[in-house]
Amino acid sequence: MICIIAGNYNEARVWAYGQHLTYDEWFYPAELEELYSRENFHVVVVGTAGQNLPQTYFEKVFNLAHIRGRMNRK
């Protein structure tokens, strides 16, 4: 599973399509709370993620995704 942090959903979808990923192989966290229900995934930052989001919010999303992504890895 891949968590795509992007400026918006469409940007994440275009990147995933370019990588030939199916919808069950990636997700875009539209809200910070969505990350609490997920674990064991890779994090990819694409496009304008750091530019379209306030810097503090981007850092929160990135750090939480990084932590949650490592949970229950084997």
How far apart, in whole angstroms, are the C-alpha atoms of residue 28 and residue 30?
6
How far apart, in whole angstroms, are the C-alpha atoms of residue 12 and residue 74?
27
pTM above 0.85, yes or no: yes
Question: How large is the average pLDDT for residues 28-54?
Answer: 87
Q: Above 90 in pLDDT, residue 28?
A: yes
Q: Above 90 in pLDDT, residue 52?
A: no
Q: What is the DSSP letter of 27?
A: E
Q: Above 90 in pLDDT, residue 19?
A: yes
